[in-house]
Amino acid sequence: MSASAAAIAADVRAGTRTARAVVEEHLAAIDAREDEIHAFNLVTADAALARADDLDRRIAAGEDPGPLAGVPVALKDNICTRGVPTTCSSRILDAWRPPYDATVVERLGAAGAVAIGKTNCDEFAMGSSTENSAFGPTRNPLDTSRVPGGSSGGSAAAVAAGFAPLALGSDTGGSIRQPAALCGTVGVKPTYGRVSRYGLVAFGSSLDQIGPLAASVTDAALVLEAIGGHDPRDSTSIPEPSPDLTGVLGGGVDGLRIGIIDELMGEGVEGIAADVKARVEEAAAALSAAGAAVEHVSVPSTVYGLSAYYLVAPAEASSNLARFDGVRFGLRVDADTAAAMNTATRTAGFGDEVKRRIMLGTYALSAGYYDAYYGKSQKVRTLIQEDFGRAYETYDLLLSPTAPTTAFPLGDKTGDPMLMYLNDVCTIPSNLAGHPSMSVPFGTGDDGLPIGVQVLAPALDEATMFRAAAVLEEAAP
């Protein structure tokens, strides 16, 4: 991985390094390995260098461009960037250039960051391996025969390969945390509404949340401070300022109560590997040694998370993706009638997984089935929220694996959607509850590949979550 974002920004602000030199160094790293990894759909080298030169001029004139001055950031390709192609890794958005920037892009700019490119992802963020991209899969930089996770696999791979110290992803059911675990980076899903969704191409509107992928807990905290806070353009944005996270990182966990979720350790869900469970227990021991009271806890309804999610998310996707009709933006396949054009465009433009989820969601919302499927899934979602609420009456934080296994081989699960969906079994409950959670690298599996431990917190308590994450990072083998 490249130098830390905090160190780069300090050097650039002090004038001991130029922003241009930093960007050139990262572009060279991309040139060296991008053909092998395919982390990016587009590298915006010229724009990044021009931005770096502008920052250098401002610093020379005595200005302070902000806490991320000169730091290269990779952006998931479902986050709108003005005048720059934003494809969601789908053919249906071929050549679409948004007329505006997402709020998070504006805020990164205001903090002095340099956007370096748009990263590959599963099409419309639907997947757990970045193999569902219309532009081909991304490979894990630590072992290119394996997946980087998904859907933000390009962003996780970019950080792990040293292409950028920071990246943004989106997390609807684990799409930041799961690839972070598989690539050995830090990945954060903030509280729902903590970070503006304005300019994020919607998948599941009640679940989607933008967050950082970074090489360290400190860097992740810096980004979340920069992009968080109220945005009047997002009706679900929480009306309070971004939290102070970098200031609490040294706070430790002495006196905190932390619960290990039994159901997510294999007692309620299947497929949690023995080496993953061992690392979580070691992480718990490290927190205990640092002064936390750690014990096992039951959060019973988490076992239904996967089932509820695969009704709620496809239902919202079928509604959100109705806008891609061949009329307003992106691909258009001409036909004799508007209806035929619409069908031909969507048939040619969407990949198999996206079509599968649109059909699942449309079925779940259809007359006669709504109550049996979508309505029931929302009741299960409420149960999950209530169970977490009860757990947080006793515990400050919860702990679980992030992903059931280490990175698996490319092509290993593409033939079995259910097997692929199981990769998100530990991450989905936080999305359904709307709570923050993050993946922190903690050692490796039997195959030498990274394992992530998931720290979960109640709504709006990112500060305590980051304190525990800093302790785990320090104690990691």
Q: What is the pLDDT of residues 421-442, one digit of tens each?
A: 999 999 999 999 999 999 999 9
| 179-200: pLDDT as tens digits | 999 999 999 999 999 999 999 9
Nearest to 177, CA basis, from 440, 445, 450, 461: 440
Answer whether 408's CB lies under 8 Å from 363's CB: no
Residues of the chain with CATH 3.90.1300.10: 5-249, 250-307+372-475
- pLDDT-derived band at 329 (thresholds 50, 70, 90) equals confident
- Which whole number is the average pLDDT over 328-344? 94
Q: Read off the pLDDT of each residue in 162-172 and give the average, rounded to a whole number.
A: 98
How many Cβ atoms from other residues are within 10 Å of residue 271's Cβ? 14
**Residue carrying structure tokens 């830390």:** 4
CA angle 152–287–397, rounded 5-degree value: 60
The amino acid occupying position 454 is Q
pLDDT one-digit tens code per residue, 287-300: 999 999 999 999 99
pLDDT band at 40 (very low <50, low <70, confident <90, very high): very high
pLDDT of residue 1: 62
Tokens 């997390």 belong to which residue? 171
| 3-state SS, one letter per residue, for the chain | CCCCHHHHHHHHHHCCCCHHHHHHHHHHHHHHHHHHHCCEEEECHHHHHHHHHHHHHHHHCCCCCCCCCCCEEEEECCECECCECCCCCCHHHCCCCCCCCCHHHHHHHHCCCEEEEEECCCHHHCCCCCCCCCCCCCCECCECCECCCCCCHHHHHHHHCCCCCEEEEECCCCCCHHHHHHHCCEEEECCCCCECCCCECCCCCCCCCEEEEECCHHHHHHHHHHHECCCCCCCCCCCCCCCCCHHHHHHCCCCCEEEEEHHHHCCCCCCCCHHHHHHHHHHHHHHHHCCCEEEEECCHHHHHHHHHHHHHHHHHHHHHHHHCCCCCCCCCCCCCCHHHHHHHHHHHHCCHHHHHHHHHHHHHHCCCCCHHHHHHHHHHHHHHHHHHHHHHHHCCEEEEECCCCCCCECCCCCCCHHHHHHHHCCCHHHHHHCCCEEEEEEEECCCCCEEEEEEECCCCCHHHHHHHHHHHHHHCC
Q: What's the farthest any 2 CA atoms get from each other in the chain?
A: 70
Among 54, 265, 74, 260, which residue's Cα sits nearest to residue 162? 74
**CATH T-level fold of 5-249:** Amidase signature (AS) enzymes (3.90.1300)
Q: Is the dihedral of CA 161, 163, 168, 172 positive or negative?
A: negative
Q: Residues of the chain with pLDDT > 70: what percent?
A: 100
Burial 155-194 (b: 16+ CB within 10 A, else e): bbbbbbbbbbbbbbbbbbbbbbbbbbbbbbbbbbbbbbbb
Pairing of strands 257-261, 397-401: parallel
107-139 confidence digits (pLDDT tens): 999 999 999 999 999 999 999 999 999 999 999
Tell me whether strands 450-456 and 397-401 are parallel, antiparallel or unpaired: antiparallel
Predicted TM-score of the model (pTM): 0.97
Instruction: Give tens-digit pLDDT for 52-87.
Output: 999 999 999 999 999 999 999 999 999 999 999 999
Q: List, for residues 374-387, the tens digit of each pLDDT value.
A: 999 999 999 999 99
Mean pLDDT on 157-163 = 98
Given this model, what pLDDT does residue 3 score?
A: 83
Q: Does domain 250-307+372-475 have CATH number 3.90.1300.10?
A: yes
Q: At what angle do helices 217-227 and 103-110 cross, to 10 degrees?
A: 110
The pLDDT-based confidence of 175 (bands split at 50, 70, 90) is very high
Residue 20's nearest CA partner among 50, 58, 62, 59 is 50
Confidence of residue 4 (pLDDT cuts 50, 70, 90): very high
Reported as a pLDDT band with limits 50, 70 and 90, residue 318 is very high
Q: For the sheet containing 257-261, what is the strand order?
A: 40-43, 114-119, 72-76, 166-170, 210-214, 186-189, 437-444, 450-456, 397-401, 257-261, 293-297
- 92, 201 in Cβ contact below 8 A? no
Which residue bears the tokens 């002095």? 112
Residue 245: pLDDT over 80: yes
- Phi and psi at 288, nearest 5°, equal -65, -45
The chain-wide mean pLDDT, for the chain, equals 97
For residue 189, list its beta bridge partners: 437
Task: Show which residues are catalytic.
Answer: 76, 151, 175
Mean pLDDT confidence for 447-451: 98
Integer-rounded Cα radius of gyration of the chain: 21
Q: Which two tokens stand for residue 114?
A: 């340099």
